[in-house]
A and B are shown apart, each in its own frame.
Chain A
Amino acid sequence: MTALEWYVTAGKIGLVIGLLMTVAPIMNWVERRGAAIIQNRVGPNRIGPFGIFQAIPDAIKFLFKEDSIPGHVNGFYYFIAPIIVLIPACMTFAVIPFGDPITIMGQTFKMQTADLNVGFLYIFAMASLGVYGLIIGGWASNNKFALLGSMRSSSQMISYELSLGLSVIGLVMVFSTVELGPMVQKQADVMWQLGPIAIPRWGIFIQPLGCLIFVIASFAEANRLPFDLPEGEPEIVGFHVEYGSMKFATFMMGEYMNMAVASGLIATLYFGGYQMLPGMGTLLDSLQLSPAAYMWSKLALQNISLAFKVGLFMWLFVWVRWTVPRFRYDQLMDLGWKMLFPLALLNVFITAVMIYLGWV
Chain B
Amino acid sequence: MLVKGKKTLFQDFYFFETLTGMIITLKEFFFGTKVTISYPEERRQYSERLRGQHYIKATNGVENCTACMLCPTVCPSECIHIEAGERQDKEKYPKTFEIDILRCCFCGMCEEACPKDAIKLSTIMEMSTSYRPIYDRAFLSEQRGNK
* A and B co-occur in one complex: yes
Q: What's the least CB distance linking A53 to chain B, in Å?
A: 17
Q: Contact between A323 and B34 (Cβ–Cβ < 8 Å)?
A: no
Partner of B36, one of A40, A212, A319: A40
Q: Contact between A40 and B34 (Cβ–Cβ < 8 Å)?
A: yes
Task: Map CB proximity to A onto B67-98 as digits: 1 under 8 Å, 0 otherwise.
Answer: 00000000000000000000000000000000
Q: Contact between B13 and A339 (Cβ–Cβ < 8 Å)?
A: yes
Smallest CB-CB separation from A42: which chain B residue? Answer: B36
Given contacts A40-B34, A41-B34, A42-B34, contact A324 B28 (CB under 8 A): no
Residue A19, interface by CB 8 Å = no
Q: Contact between B37 and A323 (Cβ–Cβ < 8 Å)?
A: no
A41: which B residues are within 8 A, CB to CB?
34-36
Smallest CB-CB separation from B23: which chain A residue? Answer: A323
B18: which A residues are within 8 A, CB to CB?
320, 323-324
Q: Contact between A323 and B36 (Cβ–Cβ < 8 Å)?
A: no
Given contacts A37-B29, A37-B32, contact A335 B38 (CB under 8 A): no
A38: which B residues are within 8 A, CB to CB?
25, 28-29, 32
- Within the assembled complex, what's the spacing in Å between the Cα atoms of A319 and B35? 20
State the interface size on chain A (CB cutoff 8 A). Answer: 16
Q: Contact between A319 and B22 (Cβ–Cβ < 8 Å)?
A: yes
- Within the assembled complex, what's the spacing in Å between the Cα atoms of A42 and B18? 25
Q: Contact between B34 and A324 (Cβ–Cβ < 8 Å)?
A: no
Residue B21, interface by CB 8 Å = yes
Q: Contact between A322 and B25 (Cβ–Cβ < 8 Å)?
A: yes
Task: Map CB proximity to A onto B17-31 as digits: 1 under 8 Å, 0 otherwise.
Answer: 010011011101100
Task: Give the residues from 31 to 53 in chain A that come closer than 8 angstroms, CB to CB, to chain B.
Answer: 34, 37-42, 45
- Within the assembled complex, what's the spacing in Å between the Cα atoms of A322 and B27? 13
A322: which B residues are within 8 A, CB to CB?
25
Task: Give the residues from 227 to 272 in chain A that come closer than 8 angstroms, CB to CB, to chain B.
Answer: none
Q: Contact between B14 and A335 (Cβ–Cβ < 8 Å)?
A: yes
Partner of B33, one of A40, A320, A323: A40
Residue B46, interface by CB 8 Å = no
Smallest CB-CB separation from B42: which chain A residue? Answer: A42
- Within the assembled complex, what's the spacing in Å between the Cα atoms of A323 and B36? 20
Q: Contact between A319 and B12 (Cβ–Cβ < 8 Å)?
A: no
Q: Contact between A319 and B25 (Cβ–Cβ < 8 Å)?
A: yes
Task: Give the residues from 1 to 59 in chain A that come closer than 8 angstroms, CB to CB, to chain B.
Answer: 34, 37-42, 45
Tell me the B residues contacting A by CB distance below 8 Å.
12-15, 18, 21-22, 24-26, 28-29, 32-38
Tell me the A residues contacting B by CB distance below 8 Å.
34, 37-42, 45, 212, 319-320, 322-324, 335, 339
Closest CB pairs A-B (n = 9) = A323-B21, A323-B25, A40-B32, A41-B36, A40-B35, A323-B22, A38-B25, A38-B29, A42-B36
Of the A-B pairs whose beta carbons lie under 8 Å apart in the complex, a sample of 10, sorted by A's number, is A34-B29, A37-B28, A37-B32, A38-B29, A40-B28, A40-B36, A319-B22, A320-B18, A324-B14, A339-B12
